[in-house]
Amino acid sequence: MAKSPEDEHPNKAFGWAARDTSGLLSPFHFSRRDNGADDVSIKILYCGVCHSDLHLLKNDWGITNYPLVPGHEIVGVVTSVGNNVKKFKAGDQVGVGVIVGSCKSCENCDQDLESYCPKMIYTYNSHSYDGVKNYGGYSDKIVVDQHFVLRFPDNLPLDAGAPLLCAGITVYSPMKYYGMTESGKHLGVVGLGGLGHVAVKFGKAFGLKVTVISTSPRKKEEAIDRLGADAFLVSSDPEQLKAAMGTMDYIIDTVSAIHALAPLLSLLKLNGKLVTVGLPNKPLELPVVSLVLGRRMVGGSNFGGLKETQEMLDFCAKNNITADIELIQMDDINSAIERLAKADVRYRFVIDIGNSLK
């Protein structure tokens, strides 16, 4: 007979879980494993609410395994470490992002690209190598292999820093890989949401000219005055698009909805790069003529590996980059998820786990 989630492991844990495709979250008792020799046990203080949490709660991708405890933008304090753990100790501020495991031996892992490992293990809605189900950060504690734990810089706010563990690294990684960091170049950021607003901040820190590209004219003031973008372009305005043709060196596209790529490609200079990090649920049409005639490139990117994520956190600490957040209590999570579905957040919900789950 299969054990209940509460009895699978020795250590009792508490969080909020969804039980079905309604996506409604409610209190949930489960358990975490003992702290092994290579493990770090963490008291969770904050957890960001990612758009992928919404998709998995509703089983939009057809892969959800209920009950589901979401959350992969986790920040907390170390409570204990295993005998083999040397770089963390009790009391340290740490973070846990999208994955908690990989094979550690494939070509991708050898290059610190665990996020592309064929055997990577997600922080939630996955199973560990022993077959036991993983639960995420909408909970009071977590136990993680030390390799997948990140040092959180002392001068980086824990609450506003939490979304960097997914939203931040998802835009930082492609910007670094595709060379979108050369001071004085022109970057277009498509979409001003959880990912896009951090991309604007990274672009400015790299010394780029940044233009926000959005379907919503009402976001112009916040893009320029609040986030520091240099310009704003309404993508549904043909005159604005025409005036901006061939002016951008790079575009990072954070939009997950179905949208046209042709207008975006027309904004690029010769040798320009369009990199997409959104995940539309249907294929996008790619106008090859625009690529050929402009010697342009279209690429994609996943979130970064652990080494690069640590680099990103240190970069954010040095440059005072955090996410713009709305801090909520755990009891507010269902209304927050409803608002997230309507894009009614500027720009990331973060759950105050430490003061919500006692």
In tens, the pLDDT along 72-84 reads 999 999 999 999 9
Q: Provide mean pLDDT across the span 42-65.
A: 95
Q: How confident is the model at residue 2 (pLDDT cuts 50, 70, 90)?
A: low
Q: How confident is the model at residue 41 (pLDDT cuts 50, 70, 90)?
A: very high
Residue that has been written with the tokens 């009402």 in this structure:
218
Indicate whether 87 pLDDT > 80: yes
Indicate whether 242 pLDDT > 90: yes
pTM for the full predicted model: 0.94
Indicate whether 124 pLDDT > 60: yes
Q: What is the DSSP string of 248-273?
A: EEEEEE---S---SHHHHHTEEEEEE
* Position with higher pLDDT, 206 vs 358: 206
CA distance 54 to 112: 29
Indicate whether 1 pLDDT > 60: no
Comparing CA positions, the residue from 25, 2, 4, 3 lying closest to residue 15 is: 25
Whether the CB-CB separation of 252 and 229 falls below 8 Å is answered with no
Indicate whether 4 pLDDT > 90: no
The angle that helices 306-319 and 167-177 make with each other, rounded to 10 degrees, is 100
Instruction: State the amino acid at position 358 in one-letter form.
Output: K
Which stretch of 165-169, 209-213, 215-219, 264-268 has the lowest confidence by average pLDDT? 215-219
Phi, psi of 278 (to 5 degrees): -80, 165
Model pLDDT, residue 337: 97
Whether the CB-CB separation of 290 and 266 falls below 8 Å is answered with yes
Model pLDDT, residue 283: 87
Helix, strand or coil for residue 335?
A: helix
Give per-residue pLDDT as tens, 145-202: 999 999 999 999 999 999 999 999 999 999 999 999 999 999 999 999 999 999 999 9
**Which ranges constitute the DSSP H helices of 158-235?**
158-161, 167-177, 194-205, 220-221
Give per-residue pLDDT as tens, 289-307: 999 999 999 999 999 999 9
Indicate whether 130 pLDDT > 90: no
Q: Which two tokens stand for residue 353?
A: 């786990």
First to last CA, the chain: 31
Model pLDDT, residue 131: 83
Q: How much is the mean pLDDT over the chain?
A: 95
pLDDT above 70: percentage of residues in the chain: 99
Q: What is the DSSP string of 201-212?
A: HHHHHTT-EEEE
Phi, psi of 127 (to 5 degrees): -130, 140
Model pLDDT, residue 129: 82
Q: Give the torsion sign (CA, 183, 218, 57, 254).
A: negative
Q: Which domains does the chain have, with CATH numbers?
A: 11-166+324-356 (3.90.180.10), 167-300 (3.40.50.720)
CA distance 200 to 102: 31
**Exposure string over 257-292, b if 16+ CB within 10 A, otherwise e:** eebebebbbbbbbeebbbbbbbeeeeeeeebeebbe
CA distance 342 to 352: 22
Comparing CA positions, the residue from 167, 151, 211 lying closest to residue 321 is: 167
Q: How confident is the model at residue 7 (pLDDT cuts 50, 70, 90)?
A: confident
Model pLDDT, residue 281: 75
Phi-psi region of 103 (alpha: psi -120 to 50; beta: other; left: phi over 0): alpha
- 209-214 vs 231-234, strand pairing mode: parallel
Indicate whether 47 pLDDT > 70: yes
Q: Provide mean pLDDT across the span 255-273.
A: 94
Phi, psi of 285 (to 5 degrees): -85, 130
Give per-residue pLDDT as tens, 301-331: 999 999 999 999 999 999 999 999 999 999 9
